[in-house]
Amino acid sequence: MTPSARLAAAIEVLSDIETRRRPAADALKDWGLARRFAGSRDRAAVASLVYDALRRKASAAFVMGNATPRAVALGMLALQRGLAPEAIAALCSGERHAPEPLSADERARLAGASLDGAPAAVAGDFPAWLEPSLTRVFGDDLVPELQALTARAPLDVRVNTLRATREAVQAELAHYAPTSTPLSPVGLRFAVGEDGRGPSLQSEHSFLQGWFEIQDEGSQIATMLAGVRPGERVVDLCAGAGGKTLALAAAMANEGRIYATDVDTRRLAPIYARIGRSGAANVEVRAPKGRYDPKRPDPLADLAGTVDCVLVDAPCTGTGTWRRNPDAKWRLRPGSLAERAKDQQVVLARAAALVKPGGRIVYVTCSLLPEENDEAVAGFLSRHAGFAPQPPAAVKETAGMPDLPARETPGGGLLLTPLTTGTDGFFVKILRHG
C-alpha cells in the first residue's frame, strides 16, 4: 500500500469507530480481515495512523474546525507528525486509493495550524468532563502534563535479576540498540519505529529463557516503591498476568513467600508459564473458583493478619496509560469511574484484613484521577482505624530512590507521569498498619 492508501484506510477505520462506537482494536481487526492484500507492515502503519489520530482527536478537530474522521486525520498529520501542508496535500491527490484533494479551507487551516486560545481539554486532548478532577492534581501544569500523554510510549523491559544482569541482557540484545532506563536500575528501553512498533522481543532466546519481561519503567518503579525485602510474606492481591508478582520475586531474591491472586481466575492464566520461565521459586498462586465472591471461602483466608506487605494494583480507569491506549480516553464515562471507585474500596478492605501489625498496604493505580488515588485512600482511612500513610520522602528513601522526580499529590501520594518521570502514569501510596 502507498502512504496515501494507508491514510485513506486510516480515515475509513476512524469512520467505523465513530459510526459503530466500538474499540479501535476491533475496527482495525475487521479492516485487516476484509483486506487480505494488506501485509503486516501495512496493517501496522494504518493502526499507527489511527492511534495517532485518537491521541490528538480534540486538538486536530480544533485546528481543522471540524471533527470528521478526515479532519481529525489531517489535523493529526500536522500536530502529531509535523507534516507541512504541502506534504499533506501530496498524500491527498485523489488518485487511485488516495484521499480526495484538500479543499481551500483545509489548506488554509493546515497552514495556520495553532492551538492558541484552545480550551485546556482541547490543548491537552482529554475529555472535558475530566478537567475539574485533573486540575485538582496538576493545577497550572494541566495542559503540559496531558500533552505528554499524547506522545507514543517507548518499549521498556525489566531485567529478571534471578536469571541475568542488565549488562548481560543489553549485550544479548545489542542488535536492537537498547538503552538503560533513566530511573529503574533493572530496565532497558527500546525505540519504536515509524509504524509505532518496537522490536519483536518475545521471540528472542533470552526472553524465552526468562532473562527479561516486557514492563513499562513506571510499573517497575511502582513495584520498587513497595520496598519488599527478602524473607517477607507478601500478597499480590490483583496479580493478573503476574508482571508485578515477578518483579517482587526478583526484589526478594527468591527468599520469603509471595501469594499471587486475582478476583478472576482467567486473568491469572498467563502467570504460570511466566513463573516457570522466570525461575521464581517463592511464588504461590491462589486462584479463586471462577471469580472471587465474598460469600465463598477466600483463597487467602489462612493468611489473615500475617502478611508483611499487600500490593494492591487496584482496578482503575487506566488514565495513566493513555500513551498506549489513546482509544480508552474517549470511551471513558463517569459511570465507569464510579464503578472503579467501588472496586477499589472492596479490594482495600480485603487487603486490610491480611496485613499484620507493622505491615503495610501498597496501593497502586495506573490512574491520574484523584477519585481513584488520594480520595480512594482517604475513604479507606476513614473506615479503617490503625492505618497511617507514609510520607512520600520516606517511601522513596526506603526504596533506595530518594531523588525520584515523581510529583507529590495534594493528598501525599507519589504520582509518576510522562512529563515528570518519562513513564506511564502511576500513583503509589503506602499505608502502614499500627
Mark whether 100 and 239 lie in a shared domain. no
Q: 388-402, pLDDT tens digit by residue?
A: 999 999 999 999 999
Is 196 domain-assigned?
no
Identify the domain boundary among 78, 97, 118.
Answer: 118
State how many domains the chain has.
2
Task: List the binding residues.
Answer: 262, 313
For residues 99 and 6, give the distance between their C-alpha atoms in angstroms, rounded to a whole number: 10
| Residue 433 CB-half CA count within 13 A | 22
Is 190 domain-assigned?
no
Marked catalytic residue, from 92, 238, 309, 366: 366
Backbone torsions φ then ψ of 274, nearest 5 degrees: -70, -40
Predicted model pTM: 0.94
Task: List the binding residues for S-adenosyl-L-methionine.
Answer: 262, 313
Q: What is the dihedral of CA 148, 157, 200, 8, to 10 degrees?
A: -10
Mark whether 424 and 288 lie in a shared domain. yes
Q: How confident is the model at residue 232 (pLDDT cuts 50, 70, 90)?
A: very high
Task: Residue 323: give its domain's CATH number.
Answer: 3.40.50.150
Is 147 domain-assigned?
no
Q: 285-321, pLDDT tens digit by residue?
A: 999 987 888 878 889 999 999 999 999 999 999 999 9
Is 371 domain-assigned?
yes
Mark whether 113 and 222 lie in a shared domain. no
238 catalytic per annotation: no
Mark whether 223 and 109 lie in a shared domain. no
Using the 8-state DSSP alphabet, how is residue 183 labeled?
S
Backbone torsions φ then ψ of 219, nearest 5 degrees: -65, -40
Percent of the chain's residues with pLDDT above 90: 93
Is 19 domain-assigned?
yes
Query: E strands of 68-154, at which residues?
Result: none
Is 344 domain-assigned?
yes
Identify the domain boundary among 99, 118, 137.
Answer: 118
SS3 360: strand
Grid coordinates representing 269 are 492464566
Q: Cβ neighbours of residue 74 under 8 Å, at least 6 residues apart?
A: 60, 64, 88, 92, 102, 106, 110
Average pLDDT over residues 62-85: 97
Looking at residue 291, what is its pLDDT? 83
Q: What is the DSSP string of 136-161?
A: HHHGGGHHHHHHHTTSPP-EEEEE-T
Is 176 domain-assigned?
no
Mark whether 236 and 381 lie in a shared domain. yes
Average pLDDT over residues 183-195: 91
Using the 8-state DSSP alphabet, how is residue 65 labeled?
T
Q: List the domain range (segments joined by +) for residue 222.
A: 217-433
Identify the domain boundary among 60, 86, 118.
Answer: 118
Looking at residue 31, what is its pLDDT? 93
Report yes or no: 60 and 71 within 8 Å, Cβ to Cβ.
Answer: yes
Q: 122-174, pLDDT tens digit by residue?
A: 999 999 999 999 999 999 999 999 999 999 999 999 999 999 999 999 999 99
Q: How confident is the model at residue 239 (pLDDT cuts 50, 70, 90)?
A: very high
For residues 24 and 101, give the distance between their C-alpha atoms in angstroms, rounded to a whole number: 26
SS3 400: coil
Mark whether 97 and 245 lie in a shared domain. no
Mark whether 294 and 429 lie in a shared domain. yes
Report yes or no: 117 and 26 within 8 Å, Cβ to Cβ.
Answer: no
Q: What is the DSSP string of 293-335?
A: -TTS--TTGGGTT-EEEEEEE-----GGGTTT-HHHHHH--HH
Is 191 domain-assigned?
no
Mark whether 226 and 97 lie in a shared domain. no
| Residue 38 CB-half CA count within 13 A | 21
